[in-house]
Amino acid sequence: MTSTPTSLADFTDARAAGRPILLTGGAVVTMDPDIPDLDTGDVLIAGPRVVAVGADLRTHPMHAAAAASALIVDTRGSIVSPGFVDTHRHAWEAQLRRSIPDVTDLGEYVMSTLASIAPSYTPQDMHVGTRLAALTALDSGITTMLDFSHNSRSRAHSDAAITALVDTGIRGVHASMGPHFGDWDHQWPADVERLMTSFHGANGGLVTLRLAALSTAEIAGPAIAYRPELAALARDLDIWTSIDAVFGIPSSEAILRWAQQGILDPTLTLIHSTGLTDDAWRAMGDAGVSVSLAPTSDAQIGLETAIPAIDEALAVDVRPGLSIDVEVALASDMFTQMRALHTIQRMRATNAAYGTDETRTRISTRDVLDLATLQGARANALGDVTGSLTPGKDADLLIVRANDINNMPLNDAVGTLVLGTDARNIDTVLVAGTARKWGGTLVGEDIDALRDEVIRSRDDIIRRVATA
């Protein structure tokens, strides 16, 4: 084993030449229930995919030859894990990060961002915001991001958002929806068919598309609410649908109505799912839908009950994915989501049993890591592609330094990933075997130029809003 760090140039050359790559010597967290974690182990990559995981692949009868010919990447002192999966982020808003950090409720967000600011976005602004969000995701270990793109005012706006996903090299899911308010071309949802033809499978299959909608007409009227016509379109295009603003009694009634109409099915991802009735949850469990939780969004903004619906989901055998939601008010990384959910659920369980002999189930760090990886991939309809270090899946993975000042020494790999790590510890990010972050730095990105572009876009938006 070499003690000299492998250079990005050597890694890129090996990748281009089709040479196998062996990550060796570090802890391995697979998140595959059938493949155990390793305190010390190897991950063998060939091209875009994981070939094998094992304690010592250079002595393995099936993989020894490939491992012997591989480029060695020394991962001692590190953790190799799947990349995180974000199941719902409104990426176009990234220029406005933390512009309303103490937002009081959903209504304030809707009126300040969606009603007042969103109509002033140009296609170029869509590209800048989405690109910033995607690069930030990669930098913090998120290898897959679902962009719930609900400011699609024209074909050009949609094209710009999807192109940003392509440009960054992230595994991106573009969920297309028309805007809530303001002037727009009303090209959606008919334009989704064109987007599918032009972009589904773009960038070597890294970019996929789906439909997006709201659960009810409460916020912005019936045009963007899920209904049989949208279900038929998604069925005809063979794509999934993400449904946002799933809250309370109105959404509960809608869910039961969808079940009666035959449009509540496994191709739906219901976002938030906060404050729903028991009947609605039973219908969701029976239908096999997936759920995207936004732990900090529910709790911090105060959505419906303000309690992320993890216990309700698990009670009907739904293991949800996790998501960031709106960066105008919330943190941008998956570590925050995992920790918030872990803390809130365990607090609720302990509080509910306090003063009694009752014992409530408390989720573990492995549970929340599972939600942030494998379950997120399943919610994004990518469970057979990413979310775990499973041979045959794409090599969407992280090399996380575990001997830095904030997380050394390494005693428990899962606990370190969930509770002791942040973006500074992420040394390497691979998406389909291609390096997107290396040596702690995003690959091929001029951050100074990006900063100038982001600030210019933000200032132009604010100027246009002020003069509208």
Return the domain boundaries, the chain: 8-82+390-442, 84-379
- Nearest CA-CA partner of 139 in 466, 428, 433, 451: 428
3-state percent breakdown (helix, strand, coil) of the chain, nearest 5: 40, 20, 35
User: What's the pLDDT at 3?
Assistant: 59
How many whole angstroms separate alpha carbon 418 and alpha carbon 421? 7
User: What's the average pLDDT block by block, 10 residues per block, for the chain (468 residues)?
Assistant: 79 97 98 98 98 97 97 98 98 98 96 96 98 98 98 97 98 98 97 97 96 94 95 98 97 98 98 98 98 98 96 98 98 98 97 93 98 98 98 98 97 98 98 98 98 98 94
Question: 438 and 410 in contact (C-beta within 8 Å)?
Answer: no
Question: 37 and 55 in contact (C-beta within 8 Å)?
Answer: no
- Alpha-helical (H) ranges within 333-434 are 334-353, 365-372, 374-379, 413-419
Question: 50 and 390 in contact (C-beta within 8 Å)?
Answer: yes
Torsion sign (Cα): 431, 436, 439, 441: negative
* Exposure string for 232-254, b = 16+ CB within 10 A, e = fewer: ebbeebebbbbbbbbbbeebbbb
**Which residue type occupies 216?**
T
The strand ranges marked E within 134-237 are: 142-149, 171-176, 207-214
Three-class SS of 409-429: CCCCHHHHHHHCCCHHHEEEE
| Residue 91: DSSP 8-state | G
CA of 369: how far to CAs of 297, 306, 418, in Å?
A: 18, 22, 7
How many whole angstroms separate alpha carbon 468 and alpha carbon 463? 9
SS3 227: coil
Fold of 8-82+390-442: Urease, subunit C; domain 1 (2.30.40)
How many whole angstroms separate alpha carbon 336 and alpha carbon 141? 12
How many whole angstroms separate alpha carbon 400 and alpha carbon 79? 5
Long-range contacts of 196-199 (CB under 8 A, 24+ apart): 196/237, 196/239, 198/159, 199/159, 199/162, 199/166, 199/174
Q: Does domain 84-379 have CATH number 3.20.20.140?
A: yes
| Residue 148: DSSP 8-state | E
User: What's the pLDDT at 4?
Assistant: 76
How many whole angstroms separate alpha carbon 443 and alpha carbon 270? 34
> Residue 389 class from Cβ within 10 Å (0-12 exposed, 13-18 middle, 19+ buried)?
buried
CA of 411: how far to CAs of 29, 81, 110, 392, 417, in Å?
A: 13, 16, 44, 29, 11
How many whole angstroms separate alpha carbon 418 and alpha carbon 425? 12
pTM above 0.85, yes or no: yes
User: What's the pLDDT at 2?
Assistant: 45
